[in-house]
Amino acid sequence: MLLGYLNPILTRLLVPKVGIIYNDSKPTACRAATEIKDKLIGRGLKVCTAPGTGGILGYATGPNPLHRIPMDKLAPPDFDQEMMFAIVLGGDGTVLSASRQLAPHGIPLLAVNTGHMGFLTETYLNQLPSVLEQVIDGNYIVENRTMIAVEVCQSEQVLWEALCLNEMVLHREPMTCMCHFEIKIGRHAPVDIAADGVIISTPTGSTAYCLSAGGAVVTPGVEVLQLLPICPHSLASRALIYGETEPVIIYPASPNQLVMVVDGNGGCYVLPEYQVKVKRSPYRAKFIRLQPPEFFQVLREKLGWGLPHIAKPTSVELP
């Protein structure tokens, strides 16, 4: 009797568990998720699957922040600390969603590109069979990436919160005037910025919206965050790089409501009486790397950074 009772418990403890998070809007990712699940089960592994939509926070539809979900409550069922790793099938958006779901549980992500840019991904579908063998054997490196915790507060009450790998953007609504922001970084005196909006970016996010807005590229291992005004109305308002241990509070100094977006896939309205608090999260996004990360190579392959110039001929022969 006792052995029969213990068998299910022992099975849960002894059978390695792997997760699959996939972009369910892409047929390629859906098919791959089914095929990979069958293969892993055939290897004797327990497999849990979930669509990446669980980490997409959505947008508020009214004037107030809605649907607050605590940062550590987004993981799908059975995705927990017992999981060896999770395979992410999709593009960068799916990876961002998965990191938000799984970072609180410390689950490493093996990101497989089935999208376009794939800046955060590690491998491709056609390479996955051999890559899985390598990862199951434990032959990989885990790279930790800084995340930020974003809270929208009224006085001391938290109205909305999110975990963020790339960036937090606070900007004006369409057809409104330029905004003013009073920003306090750590113990330092507040500064006033007049701009269309502001971005607070992690090193990972420095190659996303921050790059397009004219910010600096920061290598992932540097322990800093970046504050970047969007279209500032001042020659003095430029990107500021500061230590990641410094918390930031943003006070909207404009009478109009603003819009906040995190990682491009969730957000809420920010009213003049609210404050936005941003700080380094205690959670880190963990990425499986098959070899030591080479950030400059990724910059070169994905964004064309540092490509050699083609030398011009020293002389031209006329016909």
92 is catalytic: yes
End-to-end CA distance of the chain: 97
309 exposure class (CB count in 10 Å sphere: 0-12, 13-18, 19+): exposed
Residue 24, annotated ligand binder?
Answer: no
Residue 196, annotated ligand binder?
Answer: yes
Beta bridge partner(s), residue 29 = none
Residue 177, annotated ligand binder?
Answer: no
Residue 212, annotated ligand binder?
Answer: yes
Residue 151, annotated ligand binder?
Answer: no
Tokens of 5: 């009772």
Residue 207, annotated ligand binder?
Answer: yes
Residue 92, annotated ligand binder?
Answer: yes
What is the distance between the alpha carbons of residues 189 and 122, in angstroms, rounded to a whole number? 42
Catalytic site residue from 38, 92, 137, 192: 92
Angle 27-42/128-136 helices, nearest 10 degrees?
Answer: 40
136 exposure class (CB count in 10 Å sphere: 0-12, 13-18, 19+): middle
* CB distance 227 to 194 below 8 Å: no
As a whole number of Å, the CA-based R_g of the chain is: 22
Residue 167, annotated ligand binder?
Answer: yes
Residue 111, annotated ligand binder?
Answer: no
Residue 48, annotated ligand binder?
Answer: no
Burial 190-199 (b: 16+ CB within 10 A, else e): eeebbbbbbb
Per the annotation, binding residues for NAD(+) are 92-93, 166-167, 196, 207-212, 265
Per the annotation, binding residues are 92-93, 166-167, 196, 207-212, 265
Which sequence positions are flagged as catalytic?
A: 92
